[in-house]
């Protein structure tokens, strides 16, 4: 616990020194915009107890906690709201629940792994009415007040906005994103035809894979057979199959930057390409993504090549940081705003609104162009 306290002090000093005293800190980009409310300071919780799972080997504060604290210091200088923040790490061997004068509990479960059984049993002892559960996992584990930020929302956003002209699909995932079955099922719900689905691995050449999918090798073989039959060289271009019009790729950006150019190279056809970025990495989109030009994506604003508030460093441009940052904003909106049930907050994770004690996130859809990203 001493290690956590020391790291917290370092983080707070760093945050205080970098928080701007004027409006310069807010991004001018319309995708990220803090609410313009006059908050009722006396209505806000004065003590916030933060619970998070910690491996015994990891003494660093998780990125979501850093995001939460960074946003709290932003408001320290803006509206003089300085709550007492108590960090309560839970380990495999320690479950310490204290409720002395705590106005609000925040429970974080931000992980690529399912919630640990011991952690789940521990946090379920907390009073549900005084607890906000924040997670990137859709399992709400019985809490009334929740802020769930899931990659499933990006998946639904992409598929819900596919036009009727995109109807015959190839679905490709990777060994790190094994979700092609759920994507296929969801596409079928929207009356889309699945021509084939595959899992990409780095051992297979991308050109080989797409040649097989698009039957380009068969076209080449037909040309060779015709040449042999005519006993002369046939001048012809190999063609890809015509019963595919759309690719849906569930990959990390490194893999996508490899596969998208391979599709363009193998076939002369102009396919619709939708890419669902992996959450296993925090690889960010670059201002110009030449290898991804023409593809359509959905992701958090913090991962997009847009201007961030000055006090958010490049090392903090992670989804975990964004989730913690927006969680603090939700506390202000829930407890300190006059219109606590009628707002849309443009946060680092997306547009957030309240729906019956559950904070809903709407993500953005954007297209990669030669000039950069275009929000759709």
Instruction: Say if residue 282 is in the same domain as residue 340.
Output: no
For helices 2-18 and 63-79, the axis angle rounded to 10 degrees is: 50
Kindly state the tokens that stand for 98.
């204290």
Residues 119 and 223 in one domain: no
Please write the tens of the pLDDT for every residue from 183-232.
Answer: 999 999 999 999 999 999 877 777 778 778 876 554 444 334 334 443 44
Tell whether 294 and 174 lie within a shared domain.
Answer: yes
Task: Say how many domains are in the chain.
Answer: 2
**CATH number of residue 315's parent domain:** 3.40.50
Q: What is the mean pLDDT of residues 250-278?
A: 91
> Which of the residue ranges 40-54, 235-249, 312-326, 346-360 has the most confident prediction, judged by mean pLDDT?
312-326
Same domain, 205 and 225: yes
Question: Are 266 and 207 a contacting pair, CB within 8 Å?
Answer: yes
Give the percent of the chain with pLDDT over 70: 81
Rg of the Cα atoms in the chain: 24
pLDDT at 57 over 90: no
Report the sign of the C-alpha dihedral through residues 248, 251, 257, 261, in that order.
negative
Instruction: Answer yes or no: do 169 and 106 share one domain.
Output: no
Q: Is there a single domain that holds both residue 188 and residue 317? A: no
Residue 3 has pLDDT above 60, yes or no: no
Of 48-62, 144-158, 181-195, 349-363, least confident by mean pLDDT is 48-62
Q: Report the CATH number that the domain containing residue 257 is assigned in CATH.
A: 3.40.50.2300
Residues 21 and 75 in one domain: yes
pLDDT at 58: 63
**Sign, Cα dihedral of 23, 26, 31, 33:** negative
Both 194 and 231 in a single domain? Answer: yes
The pLDDT-based confidence of 11 (bands split at 50, 70, 90) is very low
Range of the domain at 322: 2-150+307-361
Whether residues 82 and 225 share a domain: the answer is no
Q: How confident is the prediction for the chain on average, in pLDDT?
A: 82
Regarding whether 317 and 221 lie in a shared domain, the answer is: no
What pLDDT does 61 receive? 87
Q: How many CB atoms lie within 10 A of CB 178?
A: 11
pTM equals 0.85
Region of residue 142 (left: phi > 0; alpha: psi -120 to 50; beta: else) = left
Same domain, 85 and 183: no
Same-domain check for residues 41 and 144: yes
- Give the residue ranges of DSSP H helices in the chain: 2-18, 63-79, 117-123, 151-160, 180-189, 206-213, 216-230, 253-266, 319-335
């Amino acid at each position: 616990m001493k290690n956590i306290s020391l790291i917290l002090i370092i983080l707070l000093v760093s945050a205080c020194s970098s928080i701007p005293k004027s409006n310069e800190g807010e991004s001018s980009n319309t995708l990220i915009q803090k609410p313009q409310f006059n908050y009722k300071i006396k209505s806000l919780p004065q003590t916030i107890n933060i619970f998070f799972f910690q491996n015994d080997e990891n003494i660093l504060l998780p990125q979501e906690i850093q995001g939460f604290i960074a946003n709290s210091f932003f408001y320290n200088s803006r509206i003089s709201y300085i709550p007492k923040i108590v960090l309560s790490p839970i380990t495999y061997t320690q479950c310490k629940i204290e409720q002395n004068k705590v106005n609000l509990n925040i429970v974080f479960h931000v992980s690529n792994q399912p919630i640990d059984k011991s952690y789940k049993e521990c946090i379920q002892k907390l009073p549900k009415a005084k607890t906000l559960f924040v997670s990137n996992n859709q399992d709400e584990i019985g809490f009334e007040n929740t802020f769930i930020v899931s990659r499933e929302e990006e998946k639904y956003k992409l598929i819900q906005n596919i036009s009727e002209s995109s109807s015959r699909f190839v679905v490709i995932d990777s060994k790190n994103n094994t979700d092609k079955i759920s994507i296929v099922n969801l596409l079928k719900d929207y009356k889309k035809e699945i021509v084939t689905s595959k899992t990409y691995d780095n051992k297979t050449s991308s050109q080989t894979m797409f040649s097989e999918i698009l039957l380009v090798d068969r076209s080449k073989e037909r040309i060779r057979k015709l040449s042999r039959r005519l006993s002369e060289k046939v001048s012809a271009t190999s063609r890809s199959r015509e019963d595919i019009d759309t690719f849906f790729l569930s990959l990390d950006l490194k893999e996508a930057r490899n596969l998208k150019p391979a599709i363009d190279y193998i076939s002369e056809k102009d396919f619709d390409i939708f890419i669902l970025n992996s959450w296993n990495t925090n690889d960010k989109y670059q201002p110009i993504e030449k290898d991804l030009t023409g593809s359509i994506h959905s992701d958090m604003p913090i991962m997009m090549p847009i201007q961030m508030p000055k006090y958010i460093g490049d090392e903090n441009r992670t989804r975990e940081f964004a989730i913690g940052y927006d969680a603090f904003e939700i506390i202000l909106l829930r407890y300190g705003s006059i219109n606590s049930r009628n707002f849309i907050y443009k946060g680092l994770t997306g547009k957030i609104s309240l729906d019956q004690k559950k904070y809903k996130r709407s993500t953005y859809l954007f297209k990669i162009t030669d000039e950069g990203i275009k929000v759709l």
